[in-house]
């Protein structure tokens, strides 16, 4: 006869892992890493602490999984899609416009998880802050490589600075995130995009 303990261990989880991960993502996005407690997470996810630990590990590991989901399937995916545009200017326009839309989507918390999370991390969460900084640096590196290709193809002028242009675009995006978190509207951010594209036209060569 199979014991009760063995039956319990053999039971499948009674929740959809991706669905509860999405719920955790929204909590982290709204409250930041340090501002989110385990009680906040279990309440939003609808699971208890043992189930959270068994499925996702500790809070730091859960945050990294949520961040992966944000980058791969959520709003963070706009970066990857924008890099596929045929010209450097189209890359920038797509990236900034999509960011303005994402940052002000009423179905999501305002701002960007990667930017807001790093700003609110103290010394106790240095590893999380470092993780977020490394991911943002990777995004800038990918953008620089795309601009280097554009320069090699003649899409950008021979005197253009791919690294400087990538840093400029990422700085605009991060500033837009802070503005959105402070209440800026989509129209406000799209006006910033228009100004950035005008500046782009005069500084790319």
Whether 4 maps to a domain, the answer reads no
pLDDT at position 190 over 90: yes
Structurally, how many domains does the chain consist of?
Answer: 2
pLDDT of residue 1: 40
pLDDT of residue 202: 65
Contacts of 153 (CB under 8 A, 6+ apart): none
Whether 170 maps to a domain, the answer reads yes
Domain boundary pick from 53, 73, 93: 73
- What SS3 string covers 43-105? HHHCCCHHHHHHHHCCHHHHHHHHHHHHHHCCHHHHHHHHCCCCCHHHHHHHHHHHHHHHHCC
User: Are 193 and 164 members of one domain?
Assistant: yes
Whether 98 maps to a domain, the answer reads yes
User: Are 52 and 130 members of one domain?
Assistant: no
User: Are 108 and 200 members of one domain?
Assistant: yes
Whether 33 maps to a domain, the answer reads yes
Whether 161 and 127 have beta carbons less than 8 Å apart is answered as no
User: Are 105 and 68 members of one domain?
Assistant: no
User: Are 33 and 94 members of one domain?
Assistant: no
Contacts of 162 (CB under 8 A, 6+ apart): 144, 145, 147, 148, 150, 151, 156
What pTM does this model have? 0.81
Contacts of 152 (CB under 8 A, 6+ apart): none
pLDDT at position 166 over 50: yes
Whether 6 maps to a domain, the answer reads no
pLDDT of residue 97: 95
User: Are 69 and 80 members of one domain?
Assistant: no
User: Are 82 and 58 members of one domain?
Assistant: no
C-alpha–C-alpha distance, residues 195 and 190, integer Å: 9
Whether 76 and 66 have beta carbons less than 8 Å apart is answered as no
Q: Mean pLDDT in the chain?
A: 84
Whether 25 maps to a domain, the answer reads yes
What does the pLDDT look like over 101-131, one tens digit per residue?
Answer: 988 999 888 888 877 665 555 665 778 878 8
Residue 194 domain boundaries: 76-205
pLDDT of residue 119: 57
What does the pLDDT look like over 42-93, one tens digit per residue?
Answer: 999 998 999 899 889 889 899 999 988 888 877 677 888 899 999 999 999 9
What does the pLDDT look like over 153-162, one tens digit per residue?
Answer: 999 999 999 9
The conformation of residue 13, written as its DSSP 8-state character, comes to P
User: Are 174 and 104 members of one domain?
Assistant: yes
CATH number at residue 53: 1.10.10.60
User: Are 121 and 60 members of one domain?
Assistant: no
């Amino acid at each position: 006869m199979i014991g009760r303990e063995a039956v319990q261990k053999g039971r499948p989880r009674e929740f959809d892992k991706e669905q509860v991960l999405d719920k955790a993502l929204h909590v982290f996005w709204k409250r930041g890493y340090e501002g989110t407690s385990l009680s906040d997470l279990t309440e939003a996810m609808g699971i208890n602490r043992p189930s959270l630990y068994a499925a996702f590990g500790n809070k730091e590991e859960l945050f990294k999984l949520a961040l992966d989901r944000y980058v791969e399937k959520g709003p963070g995916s706009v970066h990857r899609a924008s890099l596929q545009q045929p010209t450097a200017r189209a890359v920038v326009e797509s990236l900034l416009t999509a960011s303005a839309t994402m940052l002000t989507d009423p179905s999501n918390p305002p701002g960007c998880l990667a930017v807001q999370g790093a700003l609110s991390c103290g010394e106790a969460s240095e590893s999380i802050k470092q993780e977020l900084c490394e991911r943002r640096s990777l995004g800038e590196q990918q953008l620089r490589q795309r601009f280097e290709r554009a320069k090699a193809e003649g899409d950008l002028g021979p005197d253009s600075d791919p690294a400087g242009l990538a840093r400029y675009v990422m700085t605009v995006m991060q500033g837009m995130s802070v503005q959105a978190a402070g209440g800026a509207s989509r129209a406000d951010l799209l006006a910033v995009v228009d100004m950035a594209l005008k500046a782009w036209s005069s500084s790319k060569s």
